Amino acid sequence: MKVVFVEHNRCLACRNCERVCSFQEAGGFKSENTNIWVQIDMDQRTIFTLTCLQCDVAACLNICPANAIRRDPHTGAVVVDEKLCVGCRMCVFACPFGCMHFENLQHVAAKCDLCGGDPKCVKNCMAGALHYADINYLANMKRKKVDQTFAKTSPLHEGPHRS
Amino acid sequence: MKIKAIKQNGIVQTLCRMCDTRCAINVHLKDGVITDITPFDRHPVNQGRMCPRGSAAIDLFYHPHRILKPLKRQPDGTFSNVSWERALDEIAEKMLGLKDQFGARSIGVWKGEGVGFYQQEGYPRRFIQAFGSPNYFSNDSACYNGRYMGHSLVTGFWNAFPEFSHADLIILLGTNPPICHPPFMREFADGRERGVKLVVIDPRLNPVACYADIFAQPYPGTDGALGWGLIRYLIETKNYDSELVERYSIGFDKIAAYANKFTPEYVEKQSGIYSHVVENIAQLVIKNRPNISIFPGTGLEHHDNGVNSVRTFAILACLCGNIDISCGLFWPEEMGGRQLNLYGEIQLEDQKPIGADKFPALYDIRKECHSMTAMDYMLGNGEYPLKGLILTAANPAVTNPNTRKVEKALSTLDLFVVNDFFLTPTAKLAHYVLPAATFLERSEIHYFPKRQMVNLTQKVLEISGVRDEYSLWHDLAHRLGFGEKYFPWKNEEEVNRWILEPTGISLEKLRRHPEGYVYKAVRYKKHLKKKLPTPSGKIEFASAYLKSLGLSEIPEYVPPHHICQTSTLYPFVLTTGARKSLFYHSRHQNIPRFRNVHPQAVVEMHPQDAADLGISNDDLVRVTSEVGSLDIRAKVRHPSELRPGVIEIYHGWEDWRVNFLTHDDINDPISGFPALKAVQVKVEKIGR
């Protein structure tokens, strides 16, 4: 299963992902339409970027009373069928990550649908912080990078002691 | 409009020119119409990624407001269509008339950022020299030249883009790479994964500083003091490349003596950067040298001490042994193609290039005339009159300082021709407006000096009635009588062949390499075997050349005017030109979805200043300098984003021109640059 993955320590908050996402969604560059979010906290000086994880056990999908949320058979993405959505917002409350949003004009729920398998946010991430790849490949990549970081910083990873 | 695509269906690879980063893109065509623009995977600059500006090239190309036919201004001020042939005939006739009456130098050319650099700069330079005038102006009068000069006065060259991912320490000064140079983000992130340290020096806290090990917020224009403080620390603790200093440099004793007074405490007093932070930065420099990328942005050069601030950091880099390595001051080798300019053939120095008397180094080093002084010449206050100007894809009525004077000056011209995509505020002042071709309608040679790589862009489409830059200069040259000699090539493709001829690289070969062709494998540390291109052949900590011009031999630190001459009438310091991610200077404001993100101009200010003046978000305020005033909405920022007393306005807005406020006569003495990032102003609330 391929997902969009955010490598947080690469994101420099240019916000281009938000813009192309909202364009894909609604034709403009309006932050209320995006399904990927860049949070910049100037007090803490942190950048945190988040998008849907396409959960295997998806709370949004399970809770939807109208059966409007289903899994796309081609991409594996959890997608909203706007024609079936009744606008009850149960999914918005159910998602533990805050990755569902509600379109106030159309009164329907909205979320990342992986652009049908060609996510625009990833193509527009010039920092290389966004990846679109198999979840196990991504986990492996992350493990390797964590290892490398530890190798540099932790005394436990300095290698065998000379005696 | 009648559009012809080079192929009806399929993909064409070329380079994007929505900004000057030049990422490689795929242009998708269906039935002769562009349907999409996607990143090209195999180019080292963008590596399969792009930014939203790139895909908006579709919006630029098909924009409903594009000029598609030549326009001529009528006596009542309106524009009406005129044929190309008639427009060019009339322009040429007028040029010859002015030449007869006032001499060739009464006419100049002005090349803007909108068409780009390299051969797009070569055509107008060649044209005006062949015509007999030395007066070439460009956007570089207020961008790039200052940093180029600051470096080349020390090392003889400058490569603007170091390989950040190879550094152990990156020092950014007055720049915001995620916004200005998107591909740098990948290099930073790659570096971070290796544990690179990041120091950000900026009066403004940008998100990139969230990742900085040290973020320091100096008073605008005081970076030079920090540079000297670091130089002193390195010399004092004997942590510099002594072999490089002894064998490959001149003037070390002079900088060592001058640096003495820049103790961390003195630097704190000058710049507002705490003395212990200065020491911490110095320690990082010592620990990581020579693998340091020091990158000064336009934030340094837009001050009355800009070139010397840049020089100070170039000297610091040299002391670190940073010269000609991939992450440092890399010295690119040229491809050896032919140059379009005629500086080897036609000498026009005796014709008194405009500004060369005031800023001789600018003309000597960059062969550029001073665009701000040009306004005085137009207004009859110069040594001789400037009566005619052919300007291509520049917008000085928005982006040059003291814009009201610019408008007045341009309006007095006897012949003002503007070649552009849109009827900009500058074009509205012209006698003739000619439709310019976008990058999708041209095929030209681009260089990437850091990789010693060359690319050929592809012409994707053409619009009937819109001519490319080469045709414009070619057709005018032929009407003026020097076409046969200097513009003999039928079209751009022939020019490209002529440029490439001595290199042995064919156009066909470049076409086969959309990922870029490395014309010469990169080598480092060439200064060990080869003299540097400075007058002495060595690194010049002290410049005898500048001394001969009566300028300071070493980059002495002079505090910026807003500190030397504080004003009770204008207590704020306005910095202009912090970049916006979707605009490029004054370009792209007319792309509707970009306006969603940046709907209107704002003046950004510190919450304490806002509270003192009773200003809250979105209030209408009036910002006034000695030069002029501007009514604009307020945006109160997070307290750490700006220093109290410092406000910021973007520089490219056509409807809110910050350059109504900026001075054209407070200039850097070496580059002539305007102090766009230190304007003394007052702020008052005028409404809600």
> pLDDT tens for residues B508-531?
999 999 999 999 999 999 999 999
Cα–Cα distance for residue pair B378/B385, rounded to 1 Å: 6
Name the 3-class secondary structure at A133.
strand
Q: In terms of pTM, does the model score above 0.90?
A: yes
Name, in order, each residue with C-beta under 8 angstroms of B443's C-beta and a sequence gap of 6 or more.
B456, B457, B458, B459, B492, B493, B496
Residue B118 backbone zone (phi > 0: left; psi -120 to 50: alpha; other: beta): left
Name the 3-class secondary structure at B15.
strand
Cα–Cα distance for residue pair B336/B605, rounded to 1 Å: 49
Instruction: Show the tokens assigned to A91.
Output: 């999914």
Segment B671-685 shows an average pLDDT of 97
In this prediction, residue B276 carries a pLDDT of 98
* Nearest chain A residue to B40, by CA: A123
Cα–Cα distance for residue pair B66/B277, rounded to 1 Å: 51
| Max Cα-Cα span within chain A | 71
Name B137's bridge partners: B110
Beta-strand relationship, B10-15 and B24-30 = antiparallel
Q: Which of B50, B55, B193 sits opposite A145 (nearest CB)?
A: B193
Answer for the pair B663, B675: CB distance below 8 angstroms, yes or no.
yes
> pLDDT tens for residues B20-44?
999 999 999 999 999 999 999 999 9
pLDDT of B623 above 70: yes
In this prediction, residue A154 carries a pLDDT of 58
In which residue ranges of chain A is pLDDT below 50?
157-163
Residues of A in contact with B182 (CB under 8 A): 14, 16, 126
> pLDDT tens for residues B183-236?
999 999 999 888 899 999 999 999 999 999 999 999 999 999 999 999 999 999
| H-only helix segments in B62-212 | 84-102, 119-131, 145-155, 177-180, 184-193
Segment B104-110 shows an average pLDDT of 98
In this prediction, residue A152 carries a pLDDT of 65
Task: Tell whether A14 is within 8 A of chain B (Cβ).
Answer: yes
- Neighbouring C-alpha atoms within 13 Å toward the C-beta of B590: 18
Sheet holding B517-518, edge to edge: B445-448, B453-456, B517-518
Name A109's bridge partners: A102
Task: Tell whether B191 is within 8 A of chain A (Cβ).
Answer: no
Q: Suggest the residue from B23, B37, B59, B593 to mutate for an interface test with chain A (most A CBs closer than 10 A).
A: B593
Task: Tell whether B46 is within 8 A of chain A (Cβ).
Answer: yes
Cα–Cα distance for residue pair B424/B79, rounded to 1 Å: 13
Cα–Cα distance for residue pair B679/B575, rounded to 1 Å: 7
Interface of B with A in 573-592 (CB under 8 A): 581-582, 592
| CATH number, span B561-687 | 2.40.40.20
% of chain B surpassing 70 pLDDT: 100
Answer for the pair B154, B331: CB distance below 8 angstroms, yes or no.
no
Give me Rg for the CA atoms of chain A: 18
Residues of B in contact with A145 (CB under 8 A): 193
pLDDT of B1 above 50: yes
On average, the pLDDT of chain B sits at 96
The second-level CATH assignment, the architecture, of B3-61 is: Single Sheet (2.20)
In this prediction, residue B593 carries a pLDDT of 94
Distance from CA of B280 to the nearest CA of A (A): 20
pLDDT of B346 above 80: yes
| CATH number, span B71-142+336-518 | 3.40.50.740
Segment B635-653 shows an average pLDDT of 97
- Neighbouring C-alpha atoms within 13 Å toward the C-beta of B606: 18
Instruction: Show the tokens assigned to B260.
Output: 């003495």
Instruction: Show the tokens assigned to B10.
Output: 């399929």
Contact yes or no for A9 and B49 at CB 8 A:
no
> pLDDT tens for residues B124-180?
999 999 999 999 999 999 999 999 999 999 999 999 899 999 999 999 999 998 899
Residues of A in contact with B51 (CB under 8 A): 14, 16, 124, 126
pLDDT of B541 above 90: yes
pLDDT of B363 above 60: yes
Cα–Cα distance for residue pair B43/B54, rounded to 1 Å: 15
In this prediction, residue B213 carries a pLDDT of 96
Question: Residue ranges per domain, chain A?
Answer: 2-134
Interface of A with B in 27-46 (CB under 8 A): 27-30, 40, 42-43, 45-46
Cα–Cα distance for residue pair B239/B279, rounded to 1 Å: 13
In this prediction, residue B5 carries a pLDDT of 96
Size of interface A-B (CB pairs under 8 A): 102
pLDDT of B271 above 80: yes
Q: Which fold has domain B160-330+526-548?
A: Dimethylsulfoxide Reductase; domain 2 (3.40.228)
Cα–Cα distance for residue pair B175/B157, rounded to 1 Å: 21
Task: Tell whether B185 is within 8 A of chain A (Cβ).
Answer: yes
In this prediction, residue B688 carries a pLDDT of 80
Give me Rg for the CA atoms of chain B: 25
Question: Residue ranges per domain, chain B?
Answer: 3-61, 71-142+336-518, 160-330+526-548, 561-687
Q: Which fold has domain A2-134?
A: Alpha-Beta Plaits (3.30.70)
In this prediction, residue A155 carries a pLDDT of 56
Interface of B with A in 629-648 (CB under 8 A): 638, 640-641
Cα–Cα distance for residue pair B547/B13, rounded to 1 Å: 49
Residues of A in contact with B50 (CB under 8 A): 123-124, 126
In this prediction, residue A153 carries a pLDDT of 61
Contact yes or no for A126 and B186 at CB 8 A:
yes
Q: For B609-625, give the secondary structure using H, E and C.
A: HHHHCCCCCCCEEEEEE
Asked if B3-61 and B160-330+526-548 have one fold, the answer is no
Segment B225-253 shows an average pLDDT of 98
Q: Is A55 exposed, middle or buried (0-12, 13-18, 19+ CB in 10 A)?
A: middle
> pLDDT tens for residues B545-587?
999 999 999 999 999 999 999 899 999 999 999 999 899 999 9
